[in-house]
Structures are given as structure tokens and as C-alpha cells.
Structure 1
């Protein structure tokens, strides 16, 4: 008596939020919001193994973070054989770029920003050629992933990444909303409803 009869509803879409800083092998300061890859990877594995989940919706508002952790997440997302859509909300900066392009189809809201820049590091750096070769190889891993998962031209991506007249005291480029689409980095400008409709369409195409 007095208890509503609510049907047991299984949402066929796994919603995944990637926010704040992508935390790597070291803990981020306690005052920062982080996305921990050791939490996301098991969630993605469970999503793959659950036959009731038909698609993945990834929402991004990240400043970037640990390059290897972010790239590992991006590769994991890209390799999942279920329809995937990403939506860049506030920002998809730095290593957030490959996380956005890892989906089958990507959206960005008109006011969201994406920063493309070379990798950087903090702490002790040994000034030998091997160090710089390592940075170059790491940079190529990121570039190759973005080229593999988006429609941007290699020459244009390199140009944006090493631009010296866009950011104060830094190297790189900030793309706002439609600019990311115009360069072929993101597929379409749109918000949550557009992205959800696209994901449902991809699910229908795959599963009928």
C-alpha cells in the first residue's frame, strides 16, 4: 500500500564522465578534481562484458593530465566494439583531445574549448639527447592516435600544435566550438540531446 509500482528499467547506455585532471601513476593534489584511470578501465571492461549495455556516452570537461594514462584510456575506448559518442562540454584540453576523438562520433558544444599543444613535463629533466628523443616519440604516439581517430590533416595538426602566436608564454592553439569541427578534429557542433540522438542511431544501426 502506498508504494509506487516502478518498472525495472535497464538503461542500455553507459554514461562516462571524464572531468578535471587525468590522474596517472602519481596522486594529484587533494584540492584537484581528478579522473582516475584505475577506476575508468574496470568500468569500461564491465561495460564490454554486459550484454545489456549497447552504447557508451562519454562527456568531457578536462584540463588534461597524465599523458600515458590518458592515452591508455583513449586506446581502451577506441578498441571497444560498441557504439560510442563523445561530447566536449567545458573543455577537452591537452590529452583530452584524443579522449574526445576516440569515440565513433564526437560532438562539441559551441562554447567548449580544446587546447592542442606539445607534451610537457615537470620535475627533474636530464639534458641529454635521449630525453628529447623520448619526448618526440611520446608526441608522435599522440599525434598518430589523433590522426587515426579524426579527420584532421597531419600538416594542420602539427601547425596548430606548434603555433607560437596563439598562447601567451606557451606553444599551441586553443580551438573554440565550431573551430574544432572546421579543422576536422571533432565531427559536429551540438549538445547533449544531439549527441544522445546520434548514439541511439548508431545503436539501432548495429543492433537493429
Structure 2
């Protein structure tokens, strides 16, 4: 008796397709995963930026050791012409956040960051690290001094270390945005606004007014700006300052 297999279809192909569909529903919430190739690499930074210490399993985290190889691969892949970074993060590890920000800032390809929901704490340097930064009108950014968790040794060296790390963050933000050091420190050390902390919560329009972010917008604006910079790069134009985030 002849087997009832369709030409070119191996036994078990239907089952494999079914499993892939189920996985797409579970992972992406949709029946079909996007298959079209794009020249834009999209990277999301969500939850808490995880550093050298593994956070509890109930925390939604972004691990820096996952992002750095992706950025290296995007830099080396000739098919990728631009990088879009979407942020909705509460912050996290300072050194891990600065490492990600430095990686984005030193990419040779056009980069655009989009802050949705929140780009708090160490998310601020990441948000300003691209060639162009956009924030949603309802998104917020919390700017506050560096904090330490765990055992703290009460010696002058501890405070000197904190001060030096604070200066690293301030220097990076001011070098990659239009905000002045005086204004940034004013926002960072403001009292009375945050109930349990020193600092300021900046909403979308204020982030643009203070010079932290370049423009208010959404995903369409971010992709349009990235495509514009890609076209400029193709034409040999200067798509943006190497420092990033500075309007030409």
C-alpha cells in the first residue's frame, strides 16, 4: 500500500510545524512569528539590568552578558545597517549599565534609542548613548545618585569610590546629551520630590526640555529616524556625531 506522504514533506513535518506554532503563541502571544528580514537590529532592555550578581528568579531582568555579544554580532553583520534600542527599565547594576551604554555609543552603525514606560537610574546613560534618542510622551526617567546594596564599610575610601563612580555616570550623560552638568546635578540631588530617595522623576517633555533626550515620539518616529541615518550613511554623509545623542 502506498504511503500517504506529500511530496517534499518528511514524516513528522506537520508535528514540527505544530510545535513551532505553539511555541510562537507561548513566547510571542501570536500565531505566526515575523519572518521578514530587516536591516535594523532591535534590542530591548527591560526590567532590571543584571550585573555580576544573579537576581532572584521572580525579577524580570536583562543580563548584560546577553546584550554585549548581540551588539558585537550586529556590528560585524554587514546585513545590519542600524540598531534600535528600546528601553523600559528600572535601572540596575551601574557597571553593567555603563558597559552596555559604552558598547552602544561606540558602534559604527547608526543607533536610535526609544524610551517607553521608563528609563530610570542607570537606564539614563543607556538612553542617551545612541546617535539619536526619543522618549514617549508618557515615559519617565528617574535621576538619582548612586546607591550601594549589601555590606558597606564605613571608611573614607568607600565614599571616595562612590564619588568617582558618580562622576563617571555624570560625565557619560553630559558627553552624550545636551544637558549641562549643573542641571544634571541639580536634578540628581534634588530633595522633596521622591518620597524615599534623593532625585527627580523627569517626564517625556521635560527630558527633552532639559536636553537629556533629543525628541518626543514613538516607534514610528524611531524607525523613521534610523532609516534616515542609514540612508545618510549609505550616501557617505555623517549620520551623527561619534559621541551620539548630540543634535547636529
TM-score band, normalised by shorter chain: over 0.9
Alpha-carbon RMSD across the aligned residues, in angstroms, is 1.3
Deviation at 1:189, TM superposition (A): 0.3
Instruction: Tell me the distance in 2 between the aligned counterparts of 1:49 and 1:187.
Output: 27
* Contact 1:10 1:52 survives alignment (8 Å): no
Instruction: Tell me the distance in 2 between the aligned counterparts of 1:62 and 1:136.
Output: 24
SS of 2:109's partner is coil
Indicate how the Cα distance of structure 1 residues 169 and 9 shifts in structure 2: closer, same or farther if over 3 A, else same: closer
- Could you tell me which residue of structure 2 aligns to residue 177 of structure 1? 204
Structure 1: unaligned runs, 5 residues or longer: 2-7
TM-score by length of 1: 0.95
1:50 aligns with 2:77: yes
1:18 aligns with 2:67: no
The 5 A counterparts of 1:126-137 are 126-137=153-164
Deviation at 1:106, TM superposition (A): 0.3
Q: 1:30 aligns with which of 42, 50, 57?
A: 57
SS of 1:127's partner is coil
SS of 1:26's partner is coil
1:93 aligns with 2:120: yes
TM-score by length of 2: 0.80
Larger gyration radius, structure 1 or structure 2? 2
Deviation at 1:166, TM superposition (A): 1.2
For residues 25-65 of structure 1, give each alpha carbon's deviation from its aligned partner in whole angstroms, at most 9, with x where no partner exists: 00011001100000000000000000010000000000000
Structure 2: unaligned runs, 5 residues or longer: 1-6, 8-34, 236-248
- Could you tell me which residue of structure 2 aligns to residue 114 of structure 1? 141
Instruction: Tell me the distance in 1 between the aligned counterparts of 2:56 and 2:215.
Output: 35
* Contact 1:93 1:114 survives alignment (8 Å): yes
Instruction: Tell me the distance in 1 between the aligned counterparts of 2:143 and 2:234.
Output: 36
The 5 A counterparts of 1:184-195 are 184-195=211-222
Runs of 4+ in 1 over 3 A off after TM superposition: none
1:165 aligns with 2:224: no
For residues 109-133 of structure 1, give each alpha carbon's deviation from its aligned partner in whole angstroms, at most 9, with x where no partner exists: 0100000000001111000000000
* Contact 1:17 1:59 survives alignment (8 Å): yes
